[in-house]
């Protein structure tokens, strides 16, 4: 979440947050200046070969300056700097928030998480290409052994189905009960808000269970998101959810809110980032805010 000072703001983003070792991506930093909030200049950090977080700078891309309109309808100037970067160690890498000076104030950007994958081995001194697909011929004995567990499982399922059918057919009429009416599920927003309140009250991060605290918030929000928008959020990574948001009825502020929340929980779960006390509280507050913003009157009709 970008911090703002009297109408000025800064935000950091990556063209892609998953790369192979040595593969380039672009890190973008945009600073917005509201023309109606006074004059001033930004003071940019000076980086030589690396950016905070250990990514290597391959080249500095041309700077862009754009005229934009703020959410309040004011005229603003956007200055965007871009760096082509890469990484040479695999795993999750954290790009911490960067700070820009604005006159006597300091602006802080959002943090980022990048996943660096191992590349397959290749010729010495060369980047390896994808391996060729190899065709394998199986003998009929090998095919039979391969399919035997599946055939046995299928036979067991069929046998169980026949046994159940016979039991039901021979069941006395007085034992047959009318099917019970299935109780409707609680609305997704009621369940999510109750769980977030429980997480806030338990505050297990105070006992050192930081990762469990953030994982619990992530699970509650993903479950709510799945029920509310019928989108399989529990089966998707944050990057996959980011790609699917364009097809969902969400406003830009709501998209930014859930992506920031999930990125923060990812930083704790996967990158072993050590958040501050305010981050533990903020992630719950952001979850409550997202649920409240996206709740509507038709929630009771959810499955």
Which residues does 247 contact at the CB level (< 8 Å), separation at least 6?
Answer: none
CATH class in words for 188-301: mainly alpha
Question: Which residue's structure tokens are 């959002």?
Answer: 110
**pTM of this structure:** 0.49
Structure confidence at residue 126 (pLDDT): 60
| Calpha distance 119→129 (Å, rounded) | 9
Give the residue ranges of the chain where pLDDT is below 50: 1-3, 297-303
Spacing of C-alpha 205 from chain mean position: 21
| HEC string for the chain | CCCEECCEEEEEEECCCEEECCCCEEEEEEEEEEHHHCCCCEECCCCCCEECCCEEEEEEEEEEEEEEECCCCCEEEEEEEEEEEECCCCEEEEECCCEEEECCEEEECCCEEEEEECCCCCCCCCCCCCCCCCCCCCCHHHHHHHHHHHHHHHHHHHHHHHHHHHHHHCCCHHHCCCCCCCCCCCCHHHHHHHHHHHHHHHCHHHHCCHHHHHHHHHHHHHHHHHHHHCCCHHHCCHHHHHHHHHHCCCCHHHHHHHHHHHHHHHHHHCCCCCCCHHHHHHHHHHHHHHHHHHCCHHHHHCC
Q: What pLDDT is stored for residue 107 in this prediction?
A: 83
* pLDDT at res. 296: 67
Query: CATH code for 4-117?
Result: 2.60.40.740
| 233 CB neighbour count, 10 Å cutoff | 23
pLDDT at residue 277 in the model:
87
Cα dihedral across residues 272, 276, 277, 282: positive or negative: negative
Ordered by start, the domain boundaries in the chain are: 4-117, 188-301
Measured CA to CA in angstroms, residue 26 lies from 47, 59, 164, 193 at distances of: 15, 10, 60, 37
pLDDT reported for residue 265:
86
pLDDT for res 285? 92
CB atoms within 10 A of CB 52: 14
């Amino acid at each position: 979440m970008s911090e703002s000072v009297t109408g000025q703001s800064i935000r950091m983003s990556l063209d892609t947050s998953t790369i192979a070792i040595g593969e380039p991506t672009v890190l973008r930093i945009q600073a917005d200046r509201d023309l109606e909030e006074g004059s001033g200049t930004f003071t940019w950090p000076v980086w030589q070969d690396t950016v905070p977080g250990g990514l290597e700078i391959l080249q500095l891309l041309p700077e862009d300056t754009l005229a934009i309109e703020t959410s309040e309808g004011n005229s603003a100037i956007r200055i965007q700097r871009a760096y082509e970067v890469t990484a040479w160690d695999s795993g999750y890498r954290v790009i911490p928030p960067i700070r820009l000076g604005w006159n006597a104030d300091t602006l802080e950007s959002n943090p980022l998480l990048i996943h660096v994958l191992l590349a397959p081995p290749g010729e010495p001194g060369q980047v390896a290409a994808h391996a060729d697909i190899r065709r394998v011929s199986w003998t009929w004995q090998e095919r039979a052994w391969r399919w035997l567990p599946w055939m046995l499982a299928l036979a067991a399922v069929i046998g169980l189905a026949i046994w159940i059918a016979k039991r039901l057919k021979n069941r006395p009429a007085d034992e047959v009960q009318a099917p019970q009416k299935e109780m409707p599920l609680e609305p997704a927003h009621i369940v999510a808000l109750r769980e977030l309140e429980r997480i806030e009250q338990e505050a297990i991060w105070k006992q050192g269970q930081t990762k469990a605290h953030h994982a619990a918030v992530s699970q509650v929000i993903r479950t709510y998101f799945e029920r509310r928008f019928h989108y399989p959020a529990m089966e998707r990574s944050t990057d996959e959810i980011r790609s699917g948001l364009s097809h969902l009825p969400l406003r830009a502020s709501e998209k930014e809110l859930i992506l920031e929340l999930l990125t923060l929980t990812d930083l704790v779960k996967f990158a072993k980032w050590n958040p501050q006390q305010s981050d533990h509280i903020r992630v719950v507050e952001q979850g409550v805010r997202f649920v409240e913003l996206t709740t509507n009157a038709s929630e009771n009709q959810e499955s």
